[in-house]
Amino acid sequence: MKIIDDLCLKFFDIDARRLRPKNFYKGVEDYRNKILPKHRHLIKKQDDYTCTLCKGVKGSLFLEWVEGYQLYKCNLCEAISPNIDMSAKQSYIESVYENDDYRKKFMRETHDQFAYRKKQYGVERYQ
């Protein structure tokens, strides 16, 4: 996420970090580390890359996380795709987003952070 924020800073001259509540990145990383073991088998090798948009098979490494999870930028359409096997995408989506851990994360990031967001942006939005 920090890399995405850095790209926003580069292209749009905004302080994306200021938009994030305290411990935002820690929460994202903790959740990803928790679900990685369950989904590790879905990570494809670089040679098996296929763009999810145009189905191109040539891409350049855009971002690398851990244990081989990577994002590639398609050499044809420039879309950014993960090296994840999408053949069972519905069960993957359900396992990532329809569970108690995700609900707790969602509650923490939305409801529990309301006071922070109101203080940080309330006056600005009002004006």
- 101-113: average pLDDT: 79
> Residue 100 is which amino acid?
D
Average pLDDT score, the chain: 79
- What letters, b where the CB count within 10 A reaches 16 and e where it falls short, cover 53-62? eeebeebeee
Domain boundaries defined on the chain: 20-42+86-127, 44-83
0.75 surpassed by pTM: no
Four-CA torsion 81, 83, 85, 89, nearest 10 degrees: -40
Instruction: Judge whether 74 and 59 are in contact, CB under 8 Å.
Output: yes
Residue 4 has pLDDT above 60, yes or no: no
What integer pLDDT is reported at residue 77 of this predicted model? Answer: 96
| Tens-digit pLDDT profile for residues 50-71 | 898 999 999 999 999 887 889 9
What integer pLDDT is reported at residue 52 of this predicted model? Answer: 87
Cα Rg of the chain, angstroms: 17
What integer pLDDT is reported at residue 61 of this predicted model? Answer: 93
